[in-house]
Amino acid sequence: MHTFTFNHIALSVKDVNASVAFYQKVFQFQEIPNTASTSKTRWLAMGSTKQLHLIPRPDADIKTNKAVHFALATTNFNAFVNFLEEIEVPYSDWRNTPNKGYIRKDGIKQVYFQDPDSYWIEVNNDI
């Protein structure tokens, strides 16, 4: 049987510099070297072993919806939501109620917001 671990997520972005700035501001992800190529793709570390690859596609027509998202978990959920408010990143619950979180049936708290290219991100406390 094969075993797998999550390695990275890659997103096509219109302005790679704006996207790097967003992810560094919101999540404090550190930039790491792109060891795969000499392209303008920029890599960010998501912890010690996971990565976010931001691929510049200035002419891309990026379309997504909330059902297509990635989720990150934090033990400091309430502090993170307060931080989103401080840096003026609008968030909502699943139904798009502005500045409102949601508590799932299993008790997990979550909020949703979008990056500069409108990709949806969920942050929850499922740790």
Question: In Å, how far from its chain's centre is CA 44?
Answer: 11
Run means of pLDDT, 10 residues per run, the chain, 127 residues: 94 98 98 96 96 97 94 97 98 95 96 97 96
CATH number of the domain that 90 lies in?
3.10.180.10
pLDDT at 111: 98
CA distance readout (Å), 119 to 49, 76, 84, 124? 22, 23, 16, 16
In the chain, the number of structural domains is: 2
The reply to whether 64 falls in a domain is: no
pTM to 2 decimal places: 0.94
Claim to verify: residue 32 and residue 73 sit in the same structural domain: no
